Amino acid sequence: MTPIVGYAILLIFGVFFTGLTIVMQRRRGTAMTAEQFSTAGRSVGTGLASASIIAAWTWAATLMMSSATGYQYGISGPYWYAAGATIQILLFAIVAIHLKRKAPNAHTFLEFISQRFDKKNHRLMMFFALMTNIIVTAMVILGGAIALNSLTGMNIFIAAFLIPITFTIYTMIGGLKASFVADYLNTVMIFIILAIFAAAVYFKFGMTSVYDGLQNMGDSASMLTMASIPGLMFGMINIIGNFGTVFVDQAYWQRAIASTDSAASKAYIYGGIAWFSIPFAIATFLGVSAAGLGIAVPTPDAVAPLMAAELLGTAGSILFLAMLFMAVMSTGAAELTAITNIIVTDIYLKSVNPKASSQKILAVSRKVTLSFGLAMGLISVLLFYMGISLGFVYMAMGIFVSGAVIPVSLGLMWKKTTSTGAFYGALFGMIGGLTAWMTTAYVNFGFIGVESLGDLMSMLIGNSTVFIVSGAIVIGHSLAANRDFDFDSLKDKFKSFDEHGGEEEEEKLRVKKGVAYDG
Residue 304 pLDDT exceeds 50: yes
In this prediction, residue 219 carries a pLDDT of: 63
Residue 318 pLDDT exceeds 90: no
Q: Whole-prediction pTM value? A: 0.84
| Model confidence band, residue 500 (pLDDT cutoffs 50, 70, 90) | low
Classified as helix, coil or strand, 133 is: helix
Residue 438 pLDDT exceeds 80: yes
How far apart are alpha carbons 246 and 389 in whole angstroms? 21
Rounded to 10°, the helix 405-413/119-152 angle is 130
Per the prediction, the chain carries an average pLDDT of 85
| Model confidence band, residue 427 (pLDDT cutoffs 50, 70, 90) | very high
What digits encode the pLDDT tens for the residues 227-273? 788 888 888 888 888 888 889 999 889 888 888 888 878 889 999 99
In this prediction, residue 125 carries a pLDDT of: 94
Judge whether 231 and 80 are in contact, CB under 8 Å: yes
What digits encode the pLDDT tens for the residues 53-86? 888 888 777 888 889 889 988 888 899 999 988 9
Judge whether 95 and 109 are in contact, CB under 8 Å: no
Which residues partner with 44 through β-bridges?
Answer: 259
Which residues partner with 259 through β-bridges?
Answer: 44
In this prediction, residue 211 carries a pLDDT of: 87
What mean pLDDT comes out for the span 313-339? Answer: 86
How far apart are alpha carbons 32 and 493 in whole angstroms? 24
CA dihedral 508, 512, 515, 519 (to 10 degrees): 10
Q: Is 381 exposed, middle or buried (0-12, 13-18, 19+ CB in 10 A)?
A: buried
Residue 186 pLDDT exceeds 90: no
What mean pLDDT comes out for the span 151-170? Answer: 84
For residue 247, how far is the Cα from the chain centroid? 10
| Weakest-pLDDT range from 171-175, 321-325, 380-384 | 380-384
What mean pLDDT comes out for the span 281-307? Answer: 87
Output the CA angle 189-190-191, nearest 5 degrees.
90
How far apart are alpha carbons 333 and 121 in whole angstroms? 27
In this prediction, residue 412 carries a pLDDT of: 92
Judge whether 248 and 467 are in contact, CB under 8 Å: no
How far apart are alpha carbons 29 and 455 in whole angstroms? 55
Amino acid sitting at position 262: S
How far apart are alpha carbons 40 and 508 in whole angstroms? 28
Residue 408 pLDDT exceeds 90: yes
In this prediction, residue 479 carries a pLDDT of: 95
How far apart are alpha carbons 231 and 237 in whole angstroms? 10
What digits encode the pLDDT tens for the residues 329-380? 888 888 888 999 999 999 998 888 888 888 888 899 889 988 888 888 777 7
What mean pLDDT comes out for the span 130-136? Answer: 87
In this prediction, residue 343 carries a pLDDT of: 93
| Model confidence band, residue 28 (pLDDT cutoffs 50, 70, 90) | low
| Model confidence band, residue 517 (pLDDT cutoffs 50, 70, 90) | very low
Classified as helix, coil or strand, 367 is: helix
DSSP structural state of residue 352: I
Q: Which residue has the higher pLDDT, 231 or 471?
A: 471
Among residues of the chain, what percentage have pLDDT more than 90? 27
Domains, the chain: 3-389 (1.20.1730.10)
Helix (H) or strand (E) holding 87: helix 87-102
Residue 515 pLDDT exceeds 50: no
Residues 6+ apart with CB under 8 A from 63: 143, 279, 282, 304, 320, 323, 324, 327
What digits encode the pLDDT tens for the residues 161-170? 888 888 888 8
In this prediction, residue 323 carries a pLDDT of: 86
Residue 103 pLDDT exceeds 90: no
Residue 506 pLDDT exceeds 80: no
If one counts every other C-beta atom within 10 angstroms of the C-beta of residue 409, the result is 20
